[in-house]
Each structure stands twice: as C-alpha cells, then as structure tokens.
C-alpha cells in the first residue's frame, strides 16, 4: 500500500482513499461475503459471485440527494443538548 505524502493536494486524498477501499473490497470479496449498499438496497455478495438482497431501504428523494451533493461540503456543529427531566 502506498503512503500519502503531506505535500499532496487535499483534493487527491478522497480519490486515493476511494481507490484503496475499492481494492480492499474486491480482495475480501474473493474469499468472504461482503455487504454493500446500492440503489437503495443492502446487498450481500458471496465469494462465488452470487448477490442476495438483504433489505430494501426506504425510498429516498434522488432530487434532494443531488441538491445536497451539489452544495458541496456540509459541516455539522456539535452542540450540547440538555436532557429533559
């Protein structure tokens, strides 16, 4: 596995991470079952290549998902929540 130099452009890091995850997924899928999400469903792929649908996820609004993605990075702020007694 290659190391990421500190001088690399920050935009390259997610791409490299995605490539590493994809490679490790493919390697593990050769000898073990793997779970992944695709098109609103959780799927299980067995080592012999058979894909089984585990669960259909609730329908989501693709238009809303595209709008959120087009807005770029979403930052979440941590807030202290007071518990009701």
Q: Which domain holds residue 51?
A: 32-72
Rounded Cα distance, 68 and 43, in Å: 25
One domain for residues 15 and 37: no
Any domain includes 80: no
Any domain includes 81: no
pLDDT of residue 29: 82
One domain for residues 36 and 26: no
One domain for residues 68 and 39: yes
Rounded Cα distance, 57 and 21, in Å: 23
One domain for residues 40 and 16: no
- Of 13-27, 51-65, 69-83, the range with the lowest mean pLDDT is 69-83
Residue 55 makes CB contacts below 8 A (sequence gap 6+) with: 41, 42
One domain for residues 18 and 37: no
- Domains held by the chain: number: 2
One domain for residues 16 and 42: no
pLDDT of residue 2: 52
């Amino acid at each position: 596995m290659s190391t990421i130099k500190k001088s690399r452009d920050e935009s390259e890091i997610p791409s490299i991470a995605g490539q590493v995850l994809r490679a490790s997924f493919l390697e593990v899928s050769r000898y073990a079952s793997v779970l992944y999400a695709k098109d609103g469903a959780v799927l299980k792929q067995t080592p012999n290549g058979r894909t089984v649908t585990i669960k259909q996820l609730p329908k989501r609004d693709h238009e809303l998902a595209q709008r959120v993605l087009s807005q770029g990075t979403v930052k979440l702020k941590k807030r202290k929540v007071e518990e009701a007694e």
